[in-house]
Structure 1
Amino acid sequence: MRNEGRRGEVRGQAKRARVVVAARRPGVRLPPLEPYGDGPLEPEGDYDGLEFPGTDLAAQDGTGSRFMDCALTGCALDETRLAHARVYDSRLSGIRGVGTNLADATLRDVELVDARLGGTRMHGAVLERVLVRGGKIDYLNLRGARLRDVVFEGCVLVEPDFAGARLERVEFVDCVLKEADFGAARMKDVDLRRAAELGIARGVERLSGAVISPAQLMELAPVLAAELGVKVAGADD
């Protein structure tokens, strides 16, 4: 009985020590790739084992397309239509664009590296085992999206919109969040402790299921007080 009690105590300590479950990162290993031709993207297209080196895909329509084992490097994606697209086991490096439409898309086992994007529409998208490393994304719309095993690392997110999204095992590592919107979001095992900057414009009350550092708690204290309707004043005020 004593040993059983001791084992239970150890298990309890281990459980308490595991504050948050880490995200599983993608393991993208691309096969030898064939170069993509000069033709435009096609709706419902099927792209498998292709390399897009500096390809200008601006304003093209790839709605509902499938990309499997692909590499997009330095591609222009201004106003590119990729709603409902499926991107699997692929690496997107140095892509750039404004107004790219990835609404309701599915990204699974994807690396997004050094992107320069603005106004990207990803509302309703599904992201699973996705690494976003480096780069800057302005006004990323992830409203109502589902994120599972997603890591934002060393990137800058300006006014990202996570309103109504579901986040599970999501990490923010050495990245900057400016004026993030978490309104009506649902979180589980979301790790914000290593964010280089944590700025929350809306939805601070939705952080249940997230972990923050003591320093971040102090920084967020005014926002939390305002949300709770608490007035902060000195004894002589």
Structure 2
Amino acid sequence: MSAPKIRHFVLPELAEGFVGDLDAGGYLDQLRFTGIDGDFGAEEVRFEQCEFTGFAADRFSVRNARLLQCELTQISAPVFAAAGARLDEVRISHSRFGSADLAESSVDSLLIENCKFGWLNLRGATLRDVEFRNCQFDELDLGTLQRVRFSDSRTKVLATHQAKLSSVDLKGLEFDSVDGVSGLRGAQISELQLLNLAPQLAEHVGLKISN
């Protein structure tokens, strides 16, 4: 199984960014946005080599935006709206989100570590070369994933109804239940995970288990 190819980057010296810089459809580069409360709305904005840190936002929105070589750290938001966004070479760490909607997004080389999510929605999204490290989810809803790995992570519900998986390593993801076991095709799991899934798999193929 092919491992994710996470491309490393180093941010240059950054200037201070302000909410007033955010014009829909604009282009911003080499800025640091820090300590912003309330709503952060940056829809259809292109960010290159930017950092977002220390937010306690009611809503963090980058719908249809593009983030290239950007870092998000210590972000706390009930709503993370990123549907239709394009994320290339992005790091997200030490953050907490209620609902995180990345539906229909395009993601290439993403590292997410030490984060908590209520619901992470990846339906319709395409993810390539992504790694989740030490992350917790209440519900994780998968889309099209290629070369994706989970380590030291946990979710209560793993939803795979619309999943299309290729080289996806789920061995490091603990889950209480799977919604749509047929969507696991193309994933790698451990023997223990297989044993836990046995009743659902048997029901899916119509097997009856008796003593």
Fold shared, TM-score > 0.5 on shorter chain: yes
Alpha-carbon distance in 2 for matches of 1:129, 1:40: 27
1:169 aligns with 2:150: no
Amino acid of the structure 1 residue aligned with 2:25: E
* Percent pairwise identity: 34
Alpha-carbon distance in 2 for matches of 1:106, 1:184: 20
Aligned to 2:81: 101
- Indicate which of 23, 34, 39 corresponds to 2:4: 23
1:94-173 → structure 2 map (5 Å cutoff): 94-162=74-142, 165-173=143-151
Give the superposition deviation at 1:109: 0.4
> When the two structures are superposed, what TM-score results if normalisation uses the length of structure 2?
0.94
Alpha-carbon distance in 2 for matches of 1:68, 1:112: 15
1:184-223 → structure 2 map (5 Å cutoff): 184-195=162-173, 197-223=174-200
Give the superposition deviation at 1:123: 0.5
**Structure 1 segments of 4+ aligned residues over 3 angstroms from their partners:** none
Q: How many aligned positions are there?
A: 211
Amino acid of the structure 1 residue aligned with 2:20: G
Name the SS of the counterpart of 2:80 in structure 1: coil
Give the superposition deviation at 1:216: 1.0
Q: Is the 8 A contact 2:4 2:131 kept in 1?
A: yes
Amino acid of the structure 1 residue aligned with 2:150: F
Deviation string, structure 1 residues 165-214 (Cα, Å, up to 9, x no partner): 1110000111112201111311110011122x133431211211111111
More displaced stretch, 137-146 vs 70-79? 70-79
Give the superposition deviation at 1:38: 5.3
Alpha-carbon distance in 1 for matches of 2:201, 2:54: 41
Amino acid of the structure 1 residue aligned with 2:201: L
Aligned to 1:10: none
1:91 aligns with 2:71: yes
Alpha-carbon distance in 2 for matches of 1:103, 1:158: 19
Q: Is the 8 A contact 1:63 1:82 kept in 2?
A: yes
More strand by share: 2
Task: Give unmatched runs, 5+ long, in structure 1.
Answer: 1-19
Larger radius of gyration: 1
Give the superposition deviation at 1:33: 0.5
Name the SS of the counterpart of 1:218 in structure 2: helix
1:48 aligns with 2:29: yes
- Superposed CA RMSD in Å reads 1.5
Name the SS of the counterpart of 2:114 in structure 1: strand
Alpha-carbon distance in 1 for matches of 2:56, 2:82: 14
Name the SS of the counterpart of 1:42 in structure 2: coil
Name the SS of the counterpart of 2:198 in structure 1: helix
Q: Is the 8 A contact 1:78 1:100 kept in 2?
A: no
